[in-house]
A and B are shown apart, each in its own frame.
Chain A
Amino acid sequence: MQFVELRFFLLFVFVLTIYWTLRENRARKLLLLAASYFFYAAWDVRFLGLIWLSTGMDYAVGRALARMAPSPWRKRLLVASIVVNLSILGLFKYFDFFATSLAASPLHLILPVGISFYTFETISYTVDVYRGTPPAKSLSDFALFLAFFPHLVAGPILRPREFLPQLDEARRFSTVDGRGALVLVLGGFVKKACIGDNLAPLVDRLFASPAEAGVFATWVGVLLWTAQIYCDFSGYSDLAVGCAELLGYKLTANFDRPYLSASMTELWRRWHMSLSRFLRDYLYIPLGGGHGGRIATALNLMITMTLGGLWHGAALRFVVWGGMNGLLLVGERELPVRRLPRVVGVLLTFFLWCVGMTVFRARTLGDAAILLRSLVGFPAGSRAGSSLALGVFALLALTHLLPAARRDAETWRRLPDWAFASLYGVAAAIALTFVPLGYRPFIYFQF
C-alpha cells in the first residue's frame, strides 16, 4: 500500500475521522497501532512477525537498561540487542550479497519493507535509553513509535525523545497545523506522483542502455534522475510528515532543498537529514568523530559514509557510492572549498552529486563507468538527448529555488479559508490528471 494509492487515501481518511472522534488518548493510540499494522500487513502479512519480534525484544531490553545500574552487564545487554537487530537486518538484506560474493548459496529471502528504517529506530531507542533517555511508558507506546504508519516504511528515521513524549497526552485538534500539513501532503503527492513518476520512463531509458547515449543524452538523463530521486523521496517524506501532522504528531523534516548546498558537507545536512543525523550520532561520533586528529577523522568519515552507502542496498555500487561521498567529505575538510563563491560551490557540489548518483543508479559498476565517461565527454553511443527534457529539468530547478511550497511559506496562511479550500480542490483535481497509471513504488522502499 503506497501513500499515493486510492486505498491508502481511503484508509487514511477513515483513520483520521475515527481518530479525532475518539476522546481517550489510549484508544487513539491503539487505533493508530492497529492501522499501522494493517498498513504494514498490506505488503505481506508475514512481515508483521519480524517487527513484533523487534518490538518485544527491544521494549524488554529498554526496560532492563533503565532499571540496571551502570555495569559491564548493562553494556553487554545493549551490545547484544544491537547485534541481534543488525543480524536480522543483515540476514534479510545482506546475506545473499555476501554469500554470492563468497561463492556460497544465497537464501533468496524477501526483504521486508521498511526493515532498514525500523531497525535503525529500534537501535536508536536502546542506545538512547542506555545513555539515559527515559524508556517508553508502555509496550503499546513503543510499538507505535516503531510502527507509526506515516514513517514506518521509509522514514523519516525517528528518535525516541522526539516522538515518545508526544504519546503522553492526547493530541489536540486545535494545535494541528492543518493548512501546513495539507500543503505538505499535496506538495509531496505532486512531487512523487506527478513529477517523479513521469520522469521515471525517461530516466529508465538512459540507465537501461547507457552504451547508446551521447554526451547530451547522458547529461539530460542524469539530471532528470537527480530530479526524480529528489521528488520521489522528498515527496514521500513530505507526505509522511503531513499525514502525521494531520494526526497531531510532529515528525522531523527529511529534506531542505539539498541541491542548493554549497558543499557536500552541507548537502548531507540537507538530504535525508534523519539518516545523516542517525549516522552522525550513532556511528560517526561513537567512532570518535572529529576529535582524533586528521587521519582518524578521515577514517571515521570513510567508515560512516561507506556503511551509509551499504545501508542503501546490498550491492557493490552502493558501497562505492558511499566511499565516494566519504572521500568528498574528507577532501572538503582538507581543501579550501569553503572559500569558493557560493554559486560556484553550489554548481560544483551539484556536479559531484550527479557523478555520485550516476553510480548509485547504474545497474552495474561497468554501466556506471560508461555513463561517467560519457558525462565528461567520451560517449559510448550517439543517441541524442531531448532539449525538451532539459527544459523540464530547468523548470524543476527553478521550483527548487522557490520557497512558495515550503511549509513555512506565509502565502498559504494569508489566504482566507474559502480561498484556500477552493484552490486546494482545484490543485488536487489538476494533480490527479498528472498521475501516471502505471504502478511505481517509492524508490526508497527497496532500501
Chain B
Amino acid sequence: MTRSLAIFAASFAAAAALLYRALPPPPSLLEEKLASFDVEADQYTTVFVGTSAVYRGVVPSLLDEELGARGVSSRTFNFGLPGGSAGEALYVAERVLARRPAKLRYLIIDGGLVGFPEPSNLRTRRNLEWHGPSRAAASFVAALRARRPLEALEEARAGLYRAFSVGVSSDWIQSEPTERRVGDDGFVALDWGPTEGTRHRDFLLRLDAYRANVEKMSHDDRRPEDETYSAAMLAEVVALSRRRGVQPIVLRPPTVTTPVLSTLDAPVVRFDDPRRYPELYDPAVRYDQNHLNEQGARAFTRLLAGELATFVHAVR
C-alpha cells in the first residue's frame, strides 16, 4: 500500500514536471506581445511593464518619434496588460529580460501596479501563468508579510495549479483567434469595442464623481493601499533590471482612482498631478477615470517623451 502510494506520487510528480516543461503556454495577450517583441527584440531600447493605464496610454511609435525629435534614439515596446498586478509585472520583466535584448536600456515600471490580482483574474490562465514555483513561493511569502492570509492562500493555490499545469490543454482546445490585441508595438487605443463603449458611457454619466476625484487628487497625495506586497514584487523588478544593466524608471500614469506606489528605489516620472498636467484630466481626452482615450494617449505620450528626454539628457 505504502509502496504503491509512493510509486503513484512519484509518477504523478514526474509526469506533472514533464508536462510543465513540455506544454507551451496557451494563447494570451502576453504571449502575443512576446511573440511580436521577438521579431525585433534586439532593436528595442525601452520597454514598459504595467497595467491597462500603460497598455492603453503609451503609444510606442509616437514616443519614439517624439524622443527622436529631442535627440534620443529609441525603439519602444509596450507590455502593459489590462488588470496587471505587481507579481505579474515581475514575471513579464523576467521573460523580457531573459531574452537579453541587445539594445535595451530602460525598463519603465507602471507605479499603479499596486495590490493583488483582481478577483475576476484569480482563476484565469493568465494569473496561473506567472505562478511558476519560485514566483508563487515568493508571492506567497510577500502576501503573508503583508498580512493578507487569504491572498496568500490564493497565491499558493495558483502555484499548485500552475505546477500541475491545470487546464493548459483545455485552454489550448478552447482558445479562439483574436484580432488587434497587440496593435502598435503593444499599444491598442481604448476607443473601440462594444464592452469598452459601455464603460465609456458609464464614465460620461458619472462625470461629477470624476471631477470630484480629480479635485481631491489636486489636494492630497494618494496613499498606496497595499504597499508591502507590491513593493516587494516591484523591488525585485527594479533589482533584476539593474542586474541586467537596464535602467528602471517608475512611471506614475494619469490615473485617478488607481492607487500608486511611492517607495521604489528608482527614478520616478509623475503624471498623476492634475495641477501640473490639467490637459490629461480633461474629460474630453479620458476614456474613464483611469484610462485615456486615443487622443489622450497621444497627448500623454508626447508629454512623457518630453520627461524621458529630459531624464536621458540629465543622465548623460
Contacts from A to B (Cβ < 8 Å): 6, 194, 197-198, 201, 417-418, 420-426, 428-430, 432-439
Task: State the interface size on chain B (CB cutoff 8 A).
Answer: 32
Contacts A425-B15, A429-B15, A430-B15 given; does A437 touch B166 at CB 8 Å: yes
Q: Is B8 an interface residue (CB 8 A)?
A: yes
- In the bound complex, residues from chain A placing their C-beta under 8 Å from that of B157 are 6
Verify B165–A432 contact, CB threshold 8 A.
yes
- Return the contact of A437 from the options B7, B14, B125 (Cβ within 8 A): B125
Contacts A6-B160, A437-B123, A439-B123 given; does A422 touch B11 at CB 8 Å: yes
Verify B168–A433 contact, CB threshold 8 A.
yes
- In the bound complex, residues from chain A placing their C-beta under 8 Å from that of B160 are 6
- In the bound complex, residues from chain B placing their C-beta under 8 Å from that of A421 are 4-5, 7-8, 11
User: What is the CA–CA distance of A6 and B167 in the complex, to the nearest angstrom?
Assistant: 13
A–B pairs, 12, beta carbons within 8 Å: A420-B4, A425-B15, A429-B19, A429-B164, A432-B164, A433-B23, A433-B166, A434-B167, A434-B170, A435-B170, A436-B167, A436-B171
Return B160 CB to nearest CB of chain A, in Å: 7
A-B CB contacts (within 8 Å), total count: 83
Please give me the 3 A-B residue pairs with the lowest Cβ-Cβ distance, nearest first: A425-B11, A425-B12, A429-B15
Contacts from B to A (Cβ < 8 Å): 3-5, 7-16, 19, 23, 123-125, 128, 157, 160-161, 164-171, 173-174
Verify A433–B8 contact, CB threshold 8 A.
no
User: What is the CA–CA distance of A282 and B90 in the complex, to the nearest angstrom?
Assistant: 63
Return B27 CB to nearest CB of chain A, in Å: 14
Contacts A418-B7, A433-B23, A437-B128 given; does A426 touch B15 at CB 8 Å: yes
Verify B167–A418 contact, CB threshold 8 A.
no
Return B16 CB to nearest CB of chain A, in Å: 5
Verify A430–B3 contact, CB threshold 8 A.
no
User: What is the CA–CA distance of A435 and B166 in the complex, to the nearest angstrom?
Assistant: 6
Return A199 CB to nearest CB of chain B, in Å: 10
Contacts A417-B4, A420-B4 given; does A432 touch B166 at CB 8 Å: yes
Verify B166–A424 contact, CB threshold 8 A.
no
Residue of A nearest to B127 (CB): A437
User: What is the CA–CA distance of A433 and B18 in the complex, to the nearest angstrom?
Assistant: 12
Verify B170–A426 contact, CB threshold 8 A.
no
> Which of B9, B11, B157, B165 has its CB near the most chain A CB atoms (within 10 A)?
B11
> Which of A201, A429, A434, A435 has its CB near the most chain B CB atoms (within 10 A)?
A429
User: What is the CA–CA distance of A426 and B164 in the complex, to the nearest angstrom?
Assistant: 11
- In the bound complex, residues from chain B placing their C-beta under 8 Å from that of A437 are 123-125, 128, 161, 166-167, 170-171
Residue of A nearest to B123 (CB): A437
User: What is the CA–CA distance of A429 and B171 in the complex, to the nearest angstrom?
Assistant: 16
What 5 additional pairs, Cβ within 8 angstroms, besides A421-B7, A423-B11? A6-B160, A424-B8, A429-B12, A433-B166, A434-B169
Verify B170–A425 contact, CB threshold 8 A.
no
- In the bound complex, residues from chain A placing their C-beta under 8 Å from that of B171 are 436-437
User: What is the CA–CA distance of A436 and B128 in the complex, to the nearest angstrom?
Assistant: 13
- Return the contact of B19 from the options A198, A422, A430 (Cβ within 8 A): A430
Verify B174–A201 contact, CB threshold 8 A.
yes
Verify A418–B4 contact, CB threshold 8 A.
yes
Verify B7–A422 contact, CB threshold 8 A.
yes
Verify B166–A425 contact, CB threshold 8 A.
no
Residue of B nearest to A422 (CB): B11
User: What is the CA–CA distance of A422 and B167 in the complex, to the nearest angstrom?
Assistant: 22
> Which of B15, B124, B168 has its CB near the most chain A CB atoms (within 10 A)?
B15
Return B140 CB to nearest CB of chain A, in Å: 16
User: What is the CA–CA distance of A36 and B209 in the complex, to the nearest angstrom?
Assistant: 49
User: What is the CA–CA distance of A434 and B160 in the complex, to the nearest angstrom?
Assistant: 15
Return B150 CB to nearest CB of chain A, in Å: 14
Contacts A198-B173, A435-B170, A437-B171 given; does A429 touch B16 at CB 8 Å: yes
- In the bound complex, residues from chain B placing their C-beta under 8 Å from that of A430 are 15, 19
- In the bound complex, residues from chain A placing their C-beta under 8 Å from that of B165 are 432-433
Return A168 CB to nearest CB of chain B, in Å: 26
- Return the contact of A433 from the options B11, B123, B169, B174 (Cβ within 8 A): B169
- Return the contact of A426 from the options B3, B12, B128, B168 (Cβ within 8 A): B12
Return B3 CB to nearest CB of chain A, in Å: 7
Residue of A nearest to B18 (CB): A429
Residue of B nearest to A429 (CB): B15
- In the bound complex, residues from chain B placing their C-beta under 8 Å from that of A197 are 170
User: What is the CA–CA distance of A6 and B23 in the complex, to the nearest angstrom?
Assistant: 22
- In the bound complex, residues from chain B placing their C-beta under 8 Å from that of A194 are 170
- Return the contact of B167 from the options A201, A423, A429, A433 (Cβ within 8 A): A433
User: What is the CA–CA distance of A434 and B169 in the complex, to the nearest angstrom?
Assistant: 5
User: What is the CA–CA distance of A280 and B169 in the complex, to the nearest angstrom?
Assistant: 43
- In the bound complex, residues from chain A placing their C-beta under 8 Å from that of B14 are 425
Verify A435–B4 contact, CB threshold 8 A.
no
Return A227 CB to nearest CB of chain B, in Å: 14
User: What is the CA–CA distance of A425 and B4 in the complex, to the nearest angstrom?
Assistant: 10
Verify B170–A417 contact, CB threshold 8 A.
no
- In the bound complex, residues from chain B placing their C-beta under 8 Å from that of A417 are 3-4, 7
- In the bound complex, residues from chain A placing their C-beta under 8 Å from that of B16 are 429, 432
User: What is the CA–CA distance of A54 and B289 in the complex, to the nearest angstrom?
Assistant: 53
User: What is the CA–CA distance of A194 and B157 in the complex, to the nearest angstrom?
Assistant: 20
- In the bound complex, residues from chain A placing their C-beta under 8 Å from that of B15 are 425-426, 429-430
User: What is the CA–CA distance of A417 and B171 in the complex, to the nearest angstrom?
Assistant: 34
- In the bound complex, residues from chain A placing their C-beta under 8 Å from that of B174 are 198, 201, 436
- In the bound complex, residues from chain B placing their C-beta under 8 Å from that of A423 are 11
User: What is the CA–CA distance of A198 and B172 in the complex, to the nearest angstrom?
Assistant: 11
User: What is the CA–CA distance of A423 and B173 in the complex, to the nearest angstrom?
Assistant: 24
User: What is the CA–CA distance of A231 and B283 in the complex, to the nearest angstrom?
Assistant: 52
Verify B9–A425 contact, CB threshold 8 A.
yes
Verify A425–B167 contact, CB threshold 8 A.
no
User: What is the CA–CA distance of A434 and B173 in the complex, to the nearest angstrom?
Assistant: 9
User: What is the CA–CA distance of A6 and B160 in the complex, to the nearest angstrom?
Assistant: 10
Return A10 CB to nearest CB of chain B, in Å: 11
